[in-house]
Amino acid sequence: MPRYALKVEYHGGPFAGWQRQADQPSVQGAIEAALAKLEPREHTIAAAGRTDAGVHALAQVAHCDMEKDWTPFRLSEALNYHLKPDPVAIVDCARVDDGWHARFSALERRYFFRLLMRRAPATHDKGLVWQVSQPLDAEAMRQGADHLVGHHDFTTFRSTICQAKSPVKTLDAIEIAEVQGLSGPEIHFHLRARSFLHNQVRSFVGTLERVGAGAWEPQDVKRALEARNRAACGPVCPPYGLYLAGVGYPDDPFV
């Protein structure tokens, strides 16, 4: 059966997350239903990562196995037709080897987070950013974030229901930039690692927001990390501003 890699963009607002669920809408379920319109049978697709409810994607990667030998262009066009009106789009498609796997072949995941700083409620960006009413000290946040980069036990920054075998991970990079968005000043977080723990990025951002607001000192992030205790984490921020921005592979199938 020919295997295809799919680059998927979606708005996470209407979904209970990526993973298929029996009684709630999911991104996986929407794509599998579209595949069943093309080849009527049960379809199961695999993704590079399972995003939570409300989390978005700019470049999630999944793979599917088809019976027919589709051209990538025709497959993506047909899927996009049947995905309407769900806010899900196949932005690229490529034929891959049978042994290629969206999750297990991946070398890194990249996440992007948008934090909007303004008092007036967001309108155009509602559901796409985490909004706070006060300005934040981005430089203090960078100093706090420096303590998180590297190989650490991230017990403090993972959900209590995280299913990963170990809390020890390597965070390759976390970059924090101040930008002027269409709705007002924003702080953007760019994070890169081979893999992430459940709620790790949202735990990072929620904790660093406390640093930017002056409630925590940058050194407090190091103390929280070294505590290896979930109770030492700052507030976990909401999912609205989080995006799966990209997945890295030894050979990019979409090039």
Q: What is the pLDDT of residue 233?
A: 97
Task: Give the pLDDT of residue 4.
Answer: 98
Dist. CA 49–CA 198, nearest whole Å: 10
Token pair in block for residue 17: 């997350």
In the chain the domains, ranked by start, together with CATH numbers, are 3-103 (3.30.70.580), 108-246 (3.30.70.660)
The residue among 186, 181, 109, 187 whose CA lies nearest residue 144 is 187
Quick one: pLDDT at residue 35? Answer: 98
Place of tokens 């990667």: 61
Q: How many other C-beta atoms lie within 10 A of the C-beta of residue 250? A: 8
DSSP β-bridge partners for residue 190: 112, 175
Supply the pTM of this predicted model.
0.96
Q: CB of 108 within 8 A of CB of 247?
A: yes
pLDDT at 196: 97
List, by residue number, the catalytic residues: 52
Taking a C-beta distance cutoff of 8 angstroms, is the pair 107, 248 a contact?
yes
Structure tokens belonging to residue 195: 């893999």
Predicted confidence at residue 111, as pLDDT, reads 98
CA distances from 134 to 185, 207, 209 (A): 11, 16, 11
Return the closest-CA partner of residue 234 out of 242, 224, 243, 246.
224
Bridge partners, 174 (sequence order): 191
Q: What is the mean pLDDT of each run of 10 residues along the chain (255 residues)?
A: 97 97 95 98 96 97 98 98 98 97 98 98 96 97 98 97 95 98 96 97 98 98 98 97 98 95
Instruction: Give me the count of residues in the chain.
Output: 255
Token representation of residue 96: 């891959």
SS3 86: coil
CB atoms within 10 A of CB 111: 26
* pLDDT at residue 126, as a whole number: 95
